[in-house]
Amino acid sequence: MATGTDPDLTFEDVDWDAEQEHPLIDRSPVFLAQVVINAVIFGALIWDYFILNNESPTIEGLHYPAIGGDSLIGLGFWELRRPVLQFTTNGIEMTTTFSVWDVTSVEWLLMVVLAFGFFNVVVPLYQNQRMTAYYWRQFKKNKAAVASLVFLIVTFVIGFVGPVFLPPPELSLTEQYLPPMGVTAQPPGYAEPISGTLAHPLGTDHQGQDMLKLVIFGMRVSMQVGLLSMSIAVGIGTLVGTTAAHAGGIVDEVLMRYVDIQSTFPVFLLLLLLIYLYGGSLILIIALYGFFGWEGIARQVRSEALQKNEEAYIQASEAAGASQWWIVRRHIIPNTSSTIITAATLAIPAFILGEATLSFLGFADPEIYSWGQVIAGGRGDLRGAPWISTVPGFFLFFMVLAFNYLGDALRDSIDPRQEQE
Partner 1 sequence: MSDDPLLDVRDLKTQFHTDDGTVRAVDGISFDVDRGETVCIVGESGSGKSVTSESITRIIPIPPGEIADGEVIFDGQDLTEMSTDQLRKIRGNRIAHVFQNPQGALNPVYTVGKQIIEAIRIHKDVSKQEAREQTIDLLDRVGIPEAGKRIDDYPYEFSGGMKQRVVIAMALSCQPDLLIADEPTTALDVTIQAQILRLLGDLQDEFGMSIIFVTHDLGVVAEIADRVVVMYAGKVMERGDVYRIFENPAHPYTKALLRCRPGQGSQREAIRGSLPSMIDPPDGCRFAPRCPHAVEDCRDGDQPPMMEAEHPGHEVSCIFYQDGFDSTQLDSGPEGLSASEARTDGGESR
Partner 2 sequence: MSGMKWYIARRTIWAIIVLWITLSVTWMLLELSPNQGELQAAQQAAMQGQDADKAIEDYKKREGLDKPAHERYLSYMVNMYTLNWGYSTEWDKNVISLFLDRWPFTLQYILPSTMLTMLVGYGLGLYSALNQYDRSDYVATFIAFFGLSIPNFWFAIVLVLITAVWFSDLVLFGVDMSMFQLPVFYKSEVINTSETITIMGIELVRGGWFTFDNVKQLLLPVIVISTAGFAANMRYARAYTLEYANAEFVKTARAKGANSIAVTRHILRVALVPLSTILVFQLLSVFATGTVVIEFIFSIPGLGQVTYLSFVNQDTPVILGITVIGVFVALFGFLLQDIAYVYLDPRIDYGDRTGGAG
Among 2, 250, 277, 312, binds partner 2 (CB under 8 A): 277
**CA 342, CA 314: separation in Å to the nearest integer?**
23
**CA 215, CA 171: separation in Å to the nearest integer?**
15
Per CB under 8 A, 268 contacts partner 2: yes
Q: How far is the CB of 353 from partner 2 (least distance, A)?
A: 6
CA distances from 388 to 181, 207, 280, 399, 400 (A): 13, 11, 24, 18, 19
Per CB under 8 A, 417 contacts partner 1: no
Q: Are 275 and 212 in contact (CB under 8 A)?
A: no
**CA 267, CA 211: separation in Å to the nearest integer?**
32
**CA 278, CA 373: separation in Å to the nearest integer?**
20
Q: How far is the CB of 408 from partner 2 (least distance, A)?
A: 8
Q: How far is the CB of 6 from partner 1 (least distance, A)?
A: 13
Contacts with partner 2 by CB under 8 A: the residue count is: 49
**CA 410, CA 394: separation in Å to the nearest integer?**
24
Q: How far is the CB of 129 from partner 2 (least distance, A)?
A: 31
Among 60, 318, 363, 415, binds partner 2 (CB under 8 A): 363
Per CB under 8 A, the segment of 21-29, 102-110, 133-141, 389-397 that binds partner 2 is: 389-397
Residue closer to partner 1 by CB (options 2, 173) is 2
Note the maximum CA span of the chain. Answer: 83
Task: Say what angle helices 211-247 and 249-264 make with each other, to 10 degrees.
Answer: 150
Q: Are 169 and 213 in contact (CB under 8 A)?
A: yes
Residue closer to partner 2 by CB (options 154, 261) is 261
Helix (H) or strand (E) holding 403: helix 387-414
In the list partner 2, partner 1, none, the entry touching 141 (Cβ below 5 to 8 angstroms by class) is partner 1
Q: Which of 234, 418, 334, 342 is nearest to 10 (CA)?
A: 334
Per CB under 8 A, 49 contacts partner 2: no
Query: What DSSP state is assigned to residue 196?
Result: B
Per CB under 8 A, 2 contacts partner 1: yes
Among 266, 311, 324, 366, binds partner 2 (CB under 8 A): 266
In the list partner 1, partner 2, none, the entry touching 386 (Cβ below 5 to 8 angstroms by class) is partner 2
Among 61, 124, 235, 386, binds partner 2 (CB under 8 A): 386
Per CB under 8 A, 184 contacts partner 2: no
Query: What DSSP state is assigned to residue 51?
Result: I
Residues of span 251-270 touching partner 1 by CB under 8 A = none
Per CB under 8 A, 396 contacts partner 2: yes
Residue closer to partner 2 by CB (options 134, 360) is 360
Among 162, 201, 235, 296, binds partner 2 (CB under 8 A): 296
Query: For residue 215, which amino acid is it?
Result: V
Q: Is the dihedral of CA 38, 39, 40, 45 positive or negative?
A: positive
Q: What are phi and psi of 104, to 5 degrees?
A: -90, 170
Residue closer to partner 1 by CB (options 4, 29) is 4
Residue closer to partner 1 by CB (options 7, 248) is 7
Contacts for 171 with CB less than 8 Å, ≥ 6 apart:
207, 208, 209
What three-state secondary structure class fits 175? coil
Q: How far is the CB of 257 from partner 2 (least distance, A)?
A: 9
Q: What is the CA radius of gyration of the chain?
A: 25
In the list partner 1, partner 2, none, the entry touching 325 (Cβ below 5 to 8 angstroms by class) is none
Q: Are 306 and 247 in contact (CB under 8 A)?
A: no
Per CB under 8 A, 143 contacts partner 1: no
In the list partner 2, partner 1, none, the entry touching 140 (Cβ below 5 to 8 angstroms by class) is none
**CA 160, CA 217: separation in Å to the nearest integer?**
8
CA distances from 414 to 57, 170, 417 (A): 42, 45, 9
Residues of span 103-142 touching partner 1 by CB under 8 A = 141
Per CB under 8 A, 414 contacts partner 2: no
Per CB under 8 A, 4 contacts partner 1: yes
Q: Are 177 and 190 in contact (CB under 8 A)?
A: yes
Among 159, 163, 196, 349, binds partner 2 (CB under 8 A): 349
Binding site for partner 1 (CB under 8 A): 1-5, 141
Binding site for partner 2 (CB under 8 A): 260-261, 263-270, 272-278, 295-296, 299, 349, 353-354, 356-357, 360-363, 372, 375-376, 379, 382-383, 386, 389-390, 393, 396-397, 400-401, 404-405, 408, 418-419, 421
